[in-house]
Chain A
Amino acid sequence: MILDYLNLEWIHPGLLLILGAWVLPLLNGWIKRSAMLLLPAAAVAVCLRMTPGTYGEVGFLGQVLVFGEVDKLSLIFSYVFSIMAFLGMVYALHVQDDAQHVTALTYAGGALGVTFAGDLLSLYVFWELMAISSALLVWQRRDSTAVAAGFRYLLVHIFGGLIFLAGIALYWSQTESPELLEFVKMEPFADGAGWGPALILVAFLLNAAVPPLGAWLPDAYPEATVTGAVFMTAFTTKSAVYVLIRGFAGTELLVWLGAAMAVYGVVYAVLENDARRLLAYHIISQVGYMVCGVGIGTALALNGATAHAFAHILYKALLFMGAGAVLQVTGLRKLSEMGGLYKTMPITLWLYMIGAFAISAVPLFSGFVSKSMVISATGDVHHGAWLVFLLLTLASAGTFLHTGLKLPYYMFFGKDSGVRGKEPPANMLVAMGLAAAACILIGVFPGLLYQLLPNDVDYHPYTLHHITATLGMLVFTALGFFLLLKHLDPEPKISLDTDWFYRRGSSAFVALTQRPLARLEFGFVGEIYEFVIRRLVLGVAGLMREFDTRIVDSTAVGVGRLTQAISQILRTTVSGNAQHYGLIMVAGVLALLALTMFVL
């Protein structure tokens, strides 16, 4: 079975990365650097060569695990995940830290494993692998804040994983074919569905960073290493979008969660001062469009969610690469301390701006052709379609406001902070250049992306109305930005999010409950102890002691005395003289003779 799985009919690209990663520490110099690029490039090639079908079925403890469920949906996600692994490795090529490379490739491999998982159990295995390897990417920055953030990140994801496992167990108990837990579309709110699908949905929403379960994302991503954060932006949330498309397309709750999420990210981005955390809040906002598209569930909406995930991975990686480059050369992460960097980092600025135009859905950039599919699909929402449309369009304006205007303004222009960076290492610029080229390529030739989408839909992004309305929205957002500029100055503050509940809430809870608890302890529990436990225990102990002294001791003493008495008697026969012993022996022989003669 295992050999079937490994033969050349089908190679798992995720396994290729996960196992191949362990070769890197054995290599050195240019050979290692070529291997770092060849591994993800091979994964891209394997994904591109794949044809739809079901592969890699493995029997394990009477259970069928399907590692290779290949269809158009899993293929397009595998393309972008493997391409992203390649871009990330180019960006990390200068890093002399094998542990980072191994975990990054394992993480990417986990995402590919999730993509091709045809059953819930193998999905769960790769799901947990992603959680652990990404937590390692946070830890590898190796300072105290990163270690703490990594622990919070890991605990949240372990919590999510347990919910997922509980969901699987409940789903399992109701399924008709327990030997194969096929990962198919679920109805969490249908009659008789039980809690299984609902719990699985919650676990997926947690990984998609849907509020209030999403605070782990802006908490952890800015604490990761410069190169690790680039990997993190791509895989966890987008693999969650992928499993939502597979499992929960058309769940109406997701429409509203997605729309709320798109706006939520934008609100926090206004307040944010940390460059990479601002971008992290915009991941939440952008994933909101995808979650909304999954909730709408029509062919166009699902195509939109998929296309937006594809475009988003590339431009968001580019944006994180830009902010990471600034962090790398200046050591600065707060916008309030930056400014004037355009003089020394013009290439980084321009490449960053291409990503910013792409996320802001400027015509001819990738976001324009992907985001508009979701927004066009809002017409199919049954109730309150207009509100969803308005919320998503508002969030679009907010995206341009922050990623396209606020962040570059305060980072590269604005008040000159006197900080002088230089351009980052060439490999970082090359990675950014490749990602930027992809953003433009998709924007100019949307057909390249559309032909890969799971559903056949005839959609044209470049209509006159769409272009003019988008341009109008963008330039007037810019006007609003410059009019309100003095109110937008980033402040050296942090903002409360739902991570408060496990960062401060727990200690506040302890402080709040301490007094009543103490009272309970010293008053009620103490009294109970005093009058019930102590008396009872002492009373029982007294009885035991009595029993011990009276009965046990006297028995022991009695036995001792008896033994002494007997030994006194015996002592008299043991005189130490040989003639006495001889006499006793003769007496014994005579007694035996008498016994044999008279009795027998």
Chain B
Amino acid sequence: MNFLERQLEDPVRFSRIKRWFYIGLAVVALAEIVLPLMCYLLKLAFEALNLPALAELFHTHPPHFWFEWIPAWGSLYGLASCVVIIVVSKFLGKKWLMRREDYYDS
């Protein structure tokens, strides 16, 4: 039994992994909202305190498009993309593209 097998086969450990996954989701989404804001505020604070070297440390490259300013943009767009890709592709597949495996043989 290797490491992964121990983690996945045991229901207690598996539900623990699941819990960590959900915590990870929350942390990442929060980080995406809070960290850039925090950096921006710290930069302003250090600039106000006349410490340009430290202010430079917290300089962030601003995003290019307006929608990237939406809080947790990456997380929201990631989830939306995933759902759209699956739903649209499956729809196209069922209605049009998918065929029997021997389609080209007959």
Q: B-contacting residues of A (Cβ < 8 Å)?
A: 266-268, 270-271, 342-343, 346, 349, 376, 379, 385-386, 389-390, 393-394, 396-398, 401, 413, 460, 463-466, 468-481, 484, 487-488, 491-497, 503-504
> Is B50 positioned at the interface, with any CB of A under 8 Å from its CB?
no
**Contact among B2, B8, B64 with A376 in the assembled complex (CB-CB below 8 Å):** B64
Is A397 a contact of B78 with CB atoms below 8 Å?
yes
* Chain B residue at minimum C-beta to C-beta distance from A269: B89
A353 to B77, CA, bound (A): 24
Question: Interface SS of chain A: helix, strand, loop or mixed?
Answer: helix
Is A480 a contact of B78 with CB atoms below 8 Å?
yes
Is B75 a contact of A394 with CB atoms below 8 Å?
no
**Contact among A463, A464, A474, A491 with B78 in the assembled complex (CB-CB below 8 Å):** A474
**Contact among A270, A343, A385, A478 with B89 in the assembled complex (CB-CB below 8 Å):** A270
> Is B29 positioned at the interface, with any CB of A under 8 Å from its CB?
yes
Is A472 a contact of B61 with CB atoms below 8 Å?
no
* Chain A residue at minimum C-beta to C-beta distance from B73: A469
Is A472 a contact of B83 with CB atoms below 8 Å?
no
Which residues of the other chain, A, contact B75 by a CB distance below 8 angstroms?
472-473, 475-476
Which residues of the other chain, B, contact A270 by a CB distance below 8 angstroms?
85-86, 89-90, 93
Is A484 a contact of B73 with CB atoms below 8 Å?
no
- Contact flags (1/0) for B67-106 with A, using CB distance below 8 Å? 1100011111111011111101110110011111101100
Is A480 a contact of B82 with CB atoms below 8 Å?
yes
Which residues of the other chain, B, contact A470 by a CB distance below 8 angstroms?
74
Which residues of the other chain, B, contact A464 by a CB distance below 8 angstroms?
35-36, 39, 60
Most buried by B among A271, A468, A477, A494: A468
User: In the assembled complex, how far is the CB of residue B30 from the closest CB belonging to chain A, in whole angstroms?
Assistant: 10
Which residues of the other chain, B, contact A472 by a CB distance below 8 angstroms?
28-29, 31-32, 72-76, 78
Given the known A-B contacts A465-B63, A474-B78, are A267 and B89 also in contact in the complex, defined by CB atoms under 8 Å? yes
Q: Which 7 A-B pairs have the closest CB atoms?
A: A480-B82, A469-B74, A473-B78, A472-B74, A270-B89, A472-B75, A397-B81
> Is B24 positioned at the interface, with any CB of A under 8 Å from its CB?
yes
A349 to B2, CA, bound (A): 12
* Chain B residue at minimum C-beta to C-beta distance from A380: B64
User: In the assembled complex, how far is the CB of residue A293 from the closest CB belonging to chain B, in whole angstroms?
Assistant: 16
Q: List 29 A-B contacts (CB under 8 A).
A: A270-B90, A386-B65, A389-B64, A390-B77, A397-B82, A401-B85, A413-B8, A463-B61, A464-B39, A465-B61, A465-B68, A466-B61, A468-B74, A470-B74, A471-B74, A472-B28, A472-B31, A473-B75, A473-B78, A475-B75, A476-B25, A476-B78, A481-B82, A484-B83, A484-B86, A491-B98, A493-B100, A496-B96, A496-B99
* Chain B residue at minimum C-beta to C-beta distance from A406: B86
User: In the assembled complex, how far is the CB of residue A399 from the closest CB belonging to chain B, in whole angstroms?
Assistant: 10
User: In the assembled complex, how far is the CB of residue A402 from the closest CB belonging to chain B, in whole angstroms?
Assistant: 9
A478 to B97, CA, bound (A): 26
> Is B10 positioned at the interface, with any CB of A under 8 Å from its CB?
no
